[in-house]
Amino acid sequence: MSSETPVLDEVSAVRARGLSKSYELGELASLKRTLRSITRLGRAQPPVERFHALRDVSFDIARGEAFTILGHNGSGKTTMMSILAAITPPSDGWLDVRGRVVPVLSVGSSFHPDLTGEENAVLFGTILGLDGDEIAEAMPGIAEFAEMDADHMETPVKRFSEGMKARLTFATALRFPADVYIFDEVLTFADDHFKATCVDEMRRLVREGRTVIFVSHELDLVRDICTRGLWLDRGEVRLLGEIEEVAGEYAAARARHERAIAT
Q: Which residues bind ligand ATP (CB under 6 A)?
A: 23, 51, 53, 71, 73-79
Smallest gap from residue 75 Cβ to ligand ATP (A): 4
Q: Which is nearer to ligand ATP, 24 or 131 (CB)?
A: 24
Torsion of CA 127, 119, 198, 209, to 10 degrees: -40
Number of C-beta neighbours around residue 131 at 10 A: 10
Smallest gap from residue 79 Cβ to ligand ATP (A): 3
Burial label for 49, CB within 10 Å (0-12, 13-18, 19+), is exposed
**Contacts with 120 (C-beta within 8 Å, 6 or more apart), sequence order:** 111, 112, 157, 168, 172
Closest by alpha carbon to 51, among 82, 91, 86, 78?
91
Distance in angstroms (rounded) separating the CA atoms of residues 13 and 134? 22
Smallest gap from residue 228 Cβ to ligand ATP (A): 18
Cα distance from N-terminal residue to C-terminal residue, the chain = 44
Smallest gap from residue 81 Cβ to ligand ATP (A): 8
Q: Which is nearer to ligand ATP, 22 or 58 (CB)?
A: 22
Q: Which is nearer to ligand ATP, 201 or 233 (CB)?
A: 233
Q: Which is nearer to ligand ATP, 130 or 230 (CB)?
A: 230
Smallest gap from residue 103 Cβ to ligand ATP (A): 14
Q: Which is nearer to ligand ATP, 71 or 125 (CB)?
A: 71
Q: Which is nearer to ligand ATP, 51 or 189 (CB)?
A: 51
Smallest gap from residue 70 Cβ to ligand ATP (A): 9
Q: Which is nearer to ligand ATP, 75 or 120 (CB)?
A: 75
Smallest gap from residue 236 Cβ to ligand ATP (A): 12
